[in-house]
Structure 1
């Protein structure tokens, strides 16, 4: 799936489901804080729905170990 489509979906949810139209505070730091809180709430709701539908351990692609972890494991063997 194209990344731009995924991002548009998230903004669509924020605008329609959360009824988010504009930032209330003024100033760069205040707007950044409000946006981070909004994203945090969105991700918590997304995680909650995955937990409810029992889809937390399903992956579309095979998970690959990180290079750091792989190097640590090979040194132990």
Structure 2
């Protein structure tokens, strides 16, 4: 039986989420449409998951801002 990956506080991490041992920051890894590996960083798990939600929403809406960064008009 597989065990769940957890952070240093014992919270279960989702697929793609990691807590770095060097500075205790959280990191989420995903692949952009061009096949390149990208990372999102946050100091706490709540902020990281909010960023993940925004990223997923942008991907489902077909917006390419998650590829090129935030665009301004």
Q: TM-score, normalization: structure 1?
A: 0.34
Q: What TM-score, normalized by structure 2, do the two folds share?
A: 0.36
Q: Which has the larger radius of gyration?
A: 1
- Bigger share in strand: 2
Higher relative contact order, structure no. (Cα contacts within 8 Å, ≥ 6 residues apart)? 2
**Between Structure 1 and Structure 2, which shows a larger proportion of helix residues?**
1
